[in-house]
């Protein structure tokens, strides 16, 4: 069971903006550990989408953005496109567990 909680699903029409929350606690996000985000298209390996809370790797469009505040983080996708339909996971570190790295529960984004 993950210590980072995400909504199971979010949806939006093409062109709309959707946000995905990642809620942690004082032993992970709230302790100041950075949050990273991954996109997993159906049947493929995860791909790094955001690192260090809000940084985009080369090739990730600027309609994708990340932020962090307190014990939570968010991923926003603007100008939603059909190719954004995928699973999204946040990741951080938790100081209270044996687990060195922790992932969020995952969110399925559906483009209506």
From candidates 42, 44, 59, 112, binder to another protein by CB under 8 A:
44
Q: Does 66 bind another protein (CB under 8 A)?
A: no
Q: Does 24 bind another protein (CB under 8 A)?
A: no
From candidates 13, 62, 82, 100, binder to another protein by CB under 8 A:
100
Distance between CA 100 and CA 112 in Å, rounded? 37
Q: Does 108 bind another protein (CB under 8 A)?
A: no
Q: Does 59 bind another protein (CB under 8 A)?
A: no
Contacts 24+ apart (CB under 8 A), 103-106: 103/2, 103/4, 104/2, 104/4, 104/5, 104/6, 104/22, 105/2, 105/4, 105/5, 105/6, 105/8, 106/6, 106/8
Instruction: State the number of binding residues for another protein (CB under 8 A).
Output: 28
Contact residues toward another protein (CB under 8 A) are 2, 33-36, 38, 40, 44-48, 51-52, 57, 89, 91-93, 98-106
């Amino acid at each position: 069971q993950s210590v980072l909680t995400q909504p199971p699903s979010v949806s939006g029409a093409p062109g709309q903006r959707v946000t995905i929350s990642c809620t942690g606690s004082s032993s992970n996000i709230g302790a100041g550990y950075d949050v990273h985000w991954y996109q997993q298209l159906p049947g493929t390996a995860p791909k790094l989408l955001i690192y260090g809370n809000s940084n985009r790797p080369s090739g990730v469009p600027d309609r994708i953005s990340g932020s962090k505040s307190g014990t939570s983080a968010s991923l926003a996708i603007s100008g939603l496109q059909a190719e954004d339909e995928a699973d999204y996971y946040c990741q951080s570190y938790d100081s209270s567990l044996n687990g060195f790295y922790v992932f969020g529960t995952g969110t399925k984004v559906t483009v209506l």
